[in-house]
Amino acid sequence: MNLGISGRLTKATIASPLTPLFLLAAIAVGLLALLSIPREEEPQISVPMVDIQVMAPGLSATDATELVGIPLETIVKSVDGVEHVYTQAQDDGVMVTARFLVGSDPEDASIRIEEKLRANWDRKPVGIPDPKVTVRGINDVPAVVLTLSPKPGAVGQWNDASLYELASKLRTEIAKVDNVGLTFLVGGGPEEIRIAPDPAKLRQYGVPLGSVIEAASEANRSFPLGNIREDGKAVGVTAGRTLSSAQEVGLLTVRSGTGAPVYLRDIASVSQGPREDQARAWRWAKAENGKWNSAPAVSIAFAKRAGANAVVVSDAILERVEKLKGRLIPDDVEVAVTRNYGETANEKANELLFHLALATVSIVVLIGFAIGWREAGVTAVVIPTTILLTMFASNLMGYTINRVSLFALIFSIGILVDDAIVMIENIARHWAMDDDRSRTQAAIEAVAEVGNPTVVATLTVVAALLPMLFVSGLMGPYMAPIPVNASAAMIFSFFVAVVIAPWLMIRFARRTLANGHGHDESGGKLGQLYARVAHRVIDTRKSARNFLIGVGVATLVACSMFYFKAVTVKLLPFDNKSEVQVVVDMPEGTALESTGRVLEDVAGIVRGLPEATSMEAYVGTSAPFNFNGLVRHYFLRAQPEQGDVMVTLLPKGDRSRSSHEIALDLRQRLKALKLSAGASIKVVETPPGPPVLATLLAEVYGPDAATRQKTATELEKIFRSVPYIVDVDNSFGTPRPKVRLDIQRDRLDYYGLSQRQIADSIGMLLGSQTVGYAPRGDGRTPLPITIALEQKDRSWTQALSSTPVAQTPGGELVDLGAVVDVRTETGSPAIFRRDGRYADMVTAELAGAYEAPIYGMLAVDRAVNDYDWAAKGLAKPEIRLNGQPEDESVASILWDGEWEITWVTFRDMGGAFMVALLGIYILVVAQFRSFRLPLVILTPVPLTLVGIVIGHMLFRAPFTATSMIGFIALAGIIVRNSILLVDFIRHTATPDKSLRDVLLEAGTIRFKPIVLTAAAAMIGAAVILTDPIFQGLAISLLFGLASSTLLTVLVIPAIYIVLRDDGKPATR
């Protein structure tokens, strides 16, 4: 007998003393990998984004774009690895963002950008300062966030500044923990000594504003002047002094208009405390009695270094916090852990490892009942050994333990045990034969009998999975652990099945079965059941043809369910997280206090959610950002009109509603808020996969700004008319009102003053100027000394106009109103450019009947076609699905956002599926030396759609990217079954047997292992059925396997009868 590669491997190892050593080594290296491999909740996708911020004082948004933005774009676009370049411009500034290709190194990206800028900065326009270059990547996302707030009863003892100081010290201590990366504080701010000049008293005493600035800065200086000799030693000499308190600052003197000295406290309010206009944060926590407690708060965010274990880092941070309680952290301050990705990663990993074990035990029990308990014991060793080897390989390739990699193992359990099941079942069948072969020889021949088709079948599964590794875009690295880990598991499973399984069978299994399961040629009860059904299908050529027509019609009907929306499509469904974010954008120019009041109203509505346990509100600063916030640049939300509310929910095991259902409810509740025109509130959920700027994103291109903005405004109205399109917004917003102070040069010349003197004085009056620092000792941070008007005085009144801002060389005071003219104007709308083209954006989310962008796009497309554009003085815009328009002379709409990732993902996965089928076809041609037979073997692949569609309809689940992965994987699994069946048909055929007898005999014998391998794969899928993201994969495997397995063993015999019917009846 020709043993083939499988038989030869078995023959070489079945009695070798090295085999158990290999088994022990495999388990050891796998356990080592399991313990050492980093744990994370999600795959770490490296998408470096480099922000180049340039101030352009005095320039409008249009001028800043033309003078700074566009030249920067051309420089940045020339950098190798840059995929997209985005420009955002507002009055007085522009930011250009370079987004690099997925997988690029962030540090390398930053270096390349900075080198290119330095090489071209001679092109910088006059008066434009140097750019600020910041690189952001996945490792900048905080893994742990601690929020400090006073406990109930101690609220009055702590304010923003004192909490900020405590948080700064705590941040310094925790930063000492190994592998802690970027750290930053959110909310609050340091105390300051604030000098608030009184315009009326400045006029009364005849003191110009410049004298106040000079007095405060000059009195707070000290100078090293050298050394003096004293007792044979060199002693340093310092002249001057530094101020240390508000009282000392208030006692400084300035010269009045009469020449008499005036205390600073007499012409200005001097105080020590938090800044009036600083960002603020609050925390609400739900007590056990159901009462909500509110307190000021400051959050500390900690990221981890690249490659570090999130679980280890977060545990070390929390351990350090516990040690600091009672020492650095006072007893009346609560340290709440408002984010802990290490804990969630560990919980998810442990949960999935439990599912992995559950699937393994279930398959072992299945084998025990179907074949025998000794054979089940062999399976109980084979599966963990294969999984541990896969983890070892995954660790070597740089992957981590995360939900995707573990799902790959769970999903592959069912297929990695296929090889072992086939080998074990065939060995047991050969042992049950009545012949004189030894157990070892029978086992070797049993492996050899199914060895070649098993090799090909294993390679077909790998061929089906590996092409998915080449999916481009953000979804590529997100899903990469599935084809990598599953393919590695399949390869290891083959070697374990032909090396370890026979060795274990020899030592633990018996030659004959006494448990009654039987391994006779009738195939047992399952085989007999199959024979009865198959006999009817292949009884005549007509019956076989009718059966194939019926199956084909069923497949077409299943496909039509997508058209009729009985099964919807979506990239990925929402996950069930324990946090929801509310993003508030008030009209530009809204004061910090007004935005804060809106956040308090939002918090009042959130408190009505039974699942909410705590929340943090941030105004004038961004909340600690996640991966979604990184992509959307939420960390730049630092304007007074911007605010966030981070809502923490009960653990998912303690609530009946998913976070997505809660978000839908919250969105409806927030509609009750009465907002000013131009304000928007969005409910933002953590995306289940790669984040995008918005789920539904339309980029509007056109010949000029007016056409683009008008078209975008009308498109926004269309968006709002669709019931399931929510959270609609645009990129240009409402221009901020501005007051322009025109400095009159002729008056400056008259008074002998410079424009810089007046500009500095105005900036100090309306903003804030730091003139020095006051040391406090005891290792405490020095206090900044600032000069700024009180908030109530920062409006253009007669008092402000009469503020003396300068003094002429002759000693005459000059009022601000004497050298400036005031006029009101409107600022420029924000300008957005993408890859060298101007575009205005309309963004939205989807909630309700349909939540995938394709359905919103179709609804908008219909509305755009029916809209009366001529009545608005506009031409109907062209709608594009991908690719920016080459012709910008007419308005056009380009769909982006989640649609971009969706179509790229499904396009690439469709291509991967075609490549997989081609690879499988080539493998099967090589195996059977035929071009027609592989087509027969591939015929059952579309049949999986019947079960897949039925399953998604029953669970009311959308067909997602993970569903597509299941469909592609099924191609390999089903072809594997087809190969085993066809190979057996060929080996069973003899001249004296009719075709029907051959088909029935082969099907009867192979039906049991085929059903067992399908059942094993279905068990592996069943344990992930409850996961929101991977439910589509589980449904595809469960129902696709159920339908295609049953149909495959009938369709292939039917095709044989239709193509090769010999007319002889079956005798079985």
For the chain, residues classed under CATH 3.30.2090.10 are 191-274+737-826
pLDDT given at position 806: 81
pLDDT digits (tens, 9 = 90+) for 912-971: 889 888 988 998 898 888 898 888 888 888 889 999 999 999 999 999 989 998 898 888
Cα(1003)–Cα(1049) distance, rounded to whole angstroms? 7
Domain 49-136 belongs in CATH node 1.20.1440.230: no
pLDDT given at position 243: 83
Strands 878-880 and 680-684 turn out to be unpaired
More confident residue, 482 or 952: 952
Average confidence (pLDDT) over 849-856: 92
More confident residue, 284 or 156: 284
788: which 2 tokens?
A: 């700024």
pLDDT given at position 513: 44
Cα(119)–Cα(466) distance, rounded to whole angstroms? 43
**Is-contact 170 148, C-beta < 8 A?**
yes
Residue 418 has pLDDT above 50, yes or no: yes
Task: Tell which residue, 426, 463, 422, has the closest CA to residue 926.
Answer: 463
1050: which 2 tokens?
A: 């009938």
Residue 53 has pLDDT above 80, yes or no: yes
- Calculate what percentage of the chain has a pLDDT beyond 70: 98
pLDDT given at position 522: 57
Residue 389 has pLDDT above 50, yes or no: yes
What mean pLDDT value characterizes the chain? 89
- Cα angle at 716 between 710 and 720, to 5 degrees? 150
Residue 517 has pLDDT above 50, yes or no: no
- 554-568, 790-804, 1038-1052: least confident range: 790-804
pLDDT given at position 204: 87
Q: DSSP string spanning 70-109?
A: HHHHHHHHTSTTEEEEEEEEETTEEEEEEEEPTT--HHHH
In three state form, how does the secondary structure of 449-486 look? Answer: HHHHHHHHHHHHHHHHHHHHHHCCCCHHHHHCHHHHHH
Cα(469)–Cα(484) distance, rounded to whole angstroms? 7
Average confidence (pLDDT) over 810-814: 80
CATH pick for 191-274+737-826 out of 3.40.640.10, 3.30.2090.10, 1.10.287.70, 2.40.240.10:
3.30.2090.10
**Is-contact 331 146, C-beta < 8 A?**
no
More confident residue, 894 or 515: 894
pLDDT given at position 134: 94
Distances (CA, A) of 576 to 285, 737, 745, 850: 22, 42, 63, 18
Cα(628)–Cα(692) distance, rounded to whole angstroms? 7
**Is-contact 150 297, C-beta < 8 A?**
no
Domain 138-189+275-344 belongs in CATH node 3.30.70.1320: yes
Residue 139 has pLDDT above 70, yes or no: yes
Q: Enter the pTM of the model.
A: 0.87
pLDDT digits (tens, 9 = 90+) for 66-98: 999 999 999 999 999 999 999 999 999 999 999
User: Looking at this protein, which amino acid is placed at residue 711?
Assistant: T
pLDDT given at position 173: 96
Tokens 């324990």 correspond to 578
Give bridge partners of residue 682 from the DSSP assignment: 583
In three state form, how does the secondary structure of 951-1019 look? Answer: HHHHHCCCECHHHHHHHHHHHHHHHHHHHHHHHHHHHHCCCCCCHHHHHHHHHHHHHHHHHHHHHHHHH
pLDDT digits (tens, 9 = 90+) for 703-742: 999 999 999 999 999 999 999 999 999 998 888 888 888 8
More confident residue, 569 or 404: 569
pLDDT digits (tens, 9 = 90+) for 571-600: 888 889 999 999 999 998 888 999 999 999
233: which 2 tokens?
A: 């030693």
- Calculate what percentage of the chain has a pLDDT beyond 90: 51
Strands 612-619 and 680-684 turn out to be unpaired
**Is-contact 625 634, C-beta < 8 A?**
yes
Average confidence (pLDDT) over 494-523: 73
Provide the CATH topology of domain 4-36+371-572+902-1060: Multidrug efflux transporter AcrB transmembrane fold (1.20.1640)
Cα(842)–Cα(697) distance, rounded to whole angstroms? 6
pLDDT digits (tens, 9 = 90+) for 236-253: 888 877 888 889 899 999
Three-state SS for 142?
A: coil
Q: pLDDT band for 417, please (50, 70, 90 cuts).
A: confident
Task: Tell which residue, 719, 694, 699, 675, has the closest CA to residue 584.
Answer: 675
Cα(614)–Cα(646) distance, rounded to whole angstroms? 8
**Is-contact 404 482, C-beta < 8 A?**
yes
With b meaning 16 or more CB within 10 Å and e meaning fewer, what string describes 80-106? Answer: ebbeebbbbbbbebbbbbbbbbbebeb
Average confidence (pLDDT) over 435-462: 86
pLDDT given at position 512: 55
Distances (CA, A) of 246 to 98, 772, 792: 46, 13, 21
pLDDT given at position 667: 96
For the chain, residues classed under CATH 1.20.1640.10 are 4-36+371-572+902-1060
**Is-contact 566 580, C-beta < 8 A?**
no
pLDDT given at position 1068: 60
More confident residue, 538 or 804: 538
pLDDT given at position 799: 66
Residue 409 has pLDDT above 90, yes or no: no
Residue 1047 backbone phi and psi in degrees, to 5 = -75, -35
Cα(600)–Cα(411) distance, rounded to whole angstroms? 46
For the chain, residues classed under CATH 3.30.70.1430 are 49-136, 577-687
Residue 516 has pLDDT above 60, yes or no: no
Average confidence (pLDDT) over 743-759: 85
pLDDT digits (tens, 9 = 90+) for 667-706: 999 999 998 888 999 999 988 888 899 999 999 999 999 9
Three-state SS for 833?
A: strand
pLDDT given at position 562: 93
More confident residue, 964 or 511: 964
Task: Tell which residue, 469, 541, 590, has the closest CA to residue 908.
Answer: 469
Average confidence (pLDDT) over 816-841: 91
Q: pLDDT band for 515, please (50, 70, 90 cuts).
A: very low
pLDDT digits (tens, 9 = 90+) for 163-187: 999 999 999 999 999 999 999 999 9
Domain 577-687 belongs in CATH node 3.40.50.620: no
